[in-house]
Amino acid sequence: MSYYTKIDQLVKAATDENISIGELTLKEEALNSGKSEEECYARMEKQLTVMEQGILEGLNSTAKSPSGLTGGDAVRLHTYAQKKTIGGKTIVNAIAAAIAVSEVNANMGRIVAAPTAGSCGIMPGAIISIMNEYNIDRKKTVLALFTSSAIGLVISTNATVAGAEGGCQAECGAASAMCAAALVEMFDGTPAQVAQAAALSLKNLLGLACDPVAGLVEVPCVKRNGFCAAHSIAAADMALAGVESVIPPDEVIDAMYRIGKEMPVSIKETAMGGLATSPTGKAYAKKILG
């Protein structure tokens, strides 16, 4: 059983075979799982469907989470997106959709942890909004989710995707890298551009603290998912334009892991630092946790 554990290897293999990283990963998954490509594809398509359902659910609910910290912002943004906006419909819709899924998560709803529950809104938010806006083929989108999974596998093999281990750069950073990579593939970018999008996206989130108020995956998490959806779109556009990360993708991932190890525990999901220990953060924690 073998998977590609470096982004360099993924790019080389896909380029040599003249296929996309998504197609390559689907083949690998079939080989390693003993299932047919059709079965693997169908399983991934189910993930896409769950993501779509999460967006719909979140955009149709103004319910507050049990803690009262979050809820209602997806609807607010969706309504706003119908008017004149600064970022334009594409960006605002992606932010709204990402927050929708994160709000569903905060309400204990069904989401796809991609790669984690805390970062679950980023991929659906950007990928599904872009698929719908540009009428991108569903099959191409499902294959792009395989691309995301390949990037996520490399990150989790060489570093971490856990906020408790590497801070939010590991969770939302990884999700943004996975998302940007998928977007490039949906726009027919090359495997090298896919890798660059992942690197550019992750690089810009290095050092991001994980400091959730009251230890709940809500503040800053829910809104951060919206920001990171927009961030991923920016990274994908940069890569498609030919912008490259000076630091190669695999080295960016290694740097993320080192930074994660150097971070104090107070900003690694312990709620002992950052926003969690701000006066307002502490007041909310007292109110929620007693």
Q: Can you read off the two tokens belonging to residue 189?
A: 């970018």
d(CA 31, CA 36): 8
Stretch that binds ligand SF4, among 57-65, 142-150, 177-185, 214-222 (CB under 6 A): 214-222
Residue 163 touches ligand SF4, criterion: CB under 6 A: yes
Our finding on whether 212 is near ligand SF4 (CB under 6 A) is yes
Contact letters for ligand SF4, residues 16-35 (x by CB under 6 A): --------------------
Residue holding tokens 């991929």? 123
For ligand SF4, which residue of 69, 94, 214, 217 counts as binding (CB under 6 A)? 217
Label residues 253-277 b or e (16+ Cβ within 10 Å = b): bebbbebbeebeebbbbbbebbbbe
What burial class does residue 82 get, using C-beta atoms within 10 Å of its C-beta: 0-12 exposed, 13-18 middle, 19+ buried? Answer: exposed
185 vs 269, beta carbon nearer ligand SF4 = 269
The binder of ligand SF4 chosen from 24, 92, 221, 235 (CB under 6 A): 221
- Four-residue CA torsion sign, 92, 93, 98, 101: positive
- Kindly tell me which residue out of 29, 57, 73, 269 binds ligand SF4, with binding defined by CB under 6 A: 269
What's the Rg (C-alpha) of the chain? 18
Q: Which of 54, 118, 121, 273 binds ligand SF4 (CB under 6 A)?
A: 118
Please state, in angstroms and rounded to a whole number, the distance separating the CA atoms of residues 283 and 290.
10
Dihedral angle, C-alpha 58, 64, 65, 69, nearest 10 °: 120
In the bound complex, what is the minimum distance in angstroms from residue 157's beta carbon to ligand SF4? Answer: 19
In the complex, the smallest distance separating the C-beta of residue 8 from ligand SF4, rounded to whole angstroms, is 27
**Counting contacts by CB under 6 A, is residue 120 touching ligand SF4?**
no
Q: How far is CA 45 from the centre of its chain?
A: 17
171 binds ligand SF4 (CB under 6 A): yes
Q: Does 285 bind ligand SF4 (CB under 6 A)?
A: no
Task: Name which of 55, 211, 80, 198 is nearest 130 in CA terms.
Answer: 55
- Among 53-61, 138-146, 167-175, 241-249, the segment contacting ligand SF4 (CB under 6 A): 167-175
Cβ proximity to ligand SF4, 191 vs 226, nearer residue:
226
Give the helix/strand (H/E) hosting 157: helix 138-158
Residue 119 sits in the site that holds ligand SF4 (CB under 6 A): yes
Residue 217: CB minimum distance to ligand SF4, A: 5
**CA-closest candidate to residue 122, choices 70, 162, 180, 166:** 180
Q: According to the binding rule CB under 6 A, does residue 58 interact with ligand SF4? A: no
168 interacts with ligand SF4 by CB under 6 A: yes
- Residue numbers at the binding site for ligand SF4 (CB under 6 A): 118-119, 163, 168, 171-172, 210, 212, 217, 220-221, 224, 269
